[in-house]
Amino acid sequence: MQFDLFDQAQNTVLAANSYEEFRKKFLEVGCTQCGLHEGRTHLVIDRGNPQTEILVIGEAPGEQEDLQGKAFVGRAGQLLDKIMASINLDTNKDMIIINVVKCRPPNNRAPVEAEAKTCRPYLNLQIELVKPKIILLLGATALKHMIPEKKNFSMEQEAGNFFIHPNYPGIQFMVLYHPAYLLYDPRKKESMWKHVKKLRDFLGLQKGKESKTFEPLNF
């Protein structure tokens, strides 16, 4: 992996040989590569199990994430927990959740290209160390920054789709609506249910609990 040879702090983090080492060094060293660090309370690296085969990529930390130093612990994260539980996935055991950027943008705005680019070496290393078999991209921001050639796309067309990419051999991608969008527009709940059922079938998970926890879309 290539990185700025003159930035010893970043070099220390990116030289990690295991996910546990990466996380430890990142928390110790921190990052001041872009302006987002000036307003953060905590660096938000992830939440979940780095030994899993499912990696989830969201947009950026929000208020609760910044306060707790954990990804997806606010309202959107709680909704994600319920959605995944509906197909018998535990977000803390069966997947690891990260974001495009590791610091909270002001007023919860989406990260700009320069900020995402600055954080990209960390995200790339997370993918490299986790070695996931499937990556779930939550929302338009995650999709456009992970797959930059995707331009002027519609989430209505992309959400629920599986695809592969030559830059990530052996990894299956799936696009899902961001849970925060469902909180904003509950009309997308039905579509999200169809999409996660596709994910359930792809993963070969057992049916059974969903009718009680998610099928009525009463979250």
Provide the edge-to-edge strand list for the sheet that holds 162-163. Answer: 47-48, 96-99, 54-58, 134-138, 172-176, 162-163
For 87, which DSSP code? T
In a domain, 15, yes or no: yes
In a domain, 1, yes or no: no
Helix axes 113-130, 19-29, angle to 10 degrees: 150
Domain extent, residue 67, equals 8-213
Q: Is 141 exposed, middle or buried (0-12, 13-18, 19+ CB in 10 A)?
A: buried
In a domain, 127, yes or no: yes
State the pTM of this model: 0.91
Categorize the per-residue pLDDT at 9 as very low, low, confident or very high, splitting at 50, 70 and 90. confident
Question: What's the token pair of residue 112?
Answer: 């700009």
Half-sphere exposure of 90 toward its Cβ, with a 13 Å CA cutoff?
6
For 123, which DSSP code? H
In a domain, 3, yes or no: no
Distance, in Å, from the CA atom of 110 to the CA atom of 213, rounded to the nearest integer, reads: 30
- Which residues on neighbouring strands pair with residue 48, listed in sequence order? 96
What pLDDT, on a 0 to 100 scale, did the predictor assign at position 215? Answer: 53
Task: Give the whole-number percent of the chain exceeding pLDDT 70.
Answer: 91
Distance, in Å, from the CA atom of 77 to the CA atom of 67, rounded to the nearest integer, reads: 14
In a domain, 26, yes or no: yes
The CATH number linked to 84 is 3.40.470.10
Distance, in Å, from the CA atom of 46 to the CA atom of 65, rounded to the nearest integer, reads: 10
In a domain, 134, yes or no: yes
For Cα atoms 200, 163, 115, give the angle at the middle one, nearest 5 degrees: 105
Task: Give the whole-number percent of the chain exceeding pLDDT 90.
Answer: 85
In a domain, 2, yes or no: no
Instruction: Name residue, tokens 């990894």.
Output: 171
* More confident of the two residues 214 and 183: 183
Strand, helix or coil for residue 168:
coil
How many structural domains does the chain have? 1
Per-residue pLDDT of 64-101, as tens digits, reads 999 999 999 999 999 999 999 999 999 999 999 999 99
What pLDDT, on a 0 to 100 scale, did the predictor assign at position 2? Answer: 47
In a domain, 42, yes or no: yes
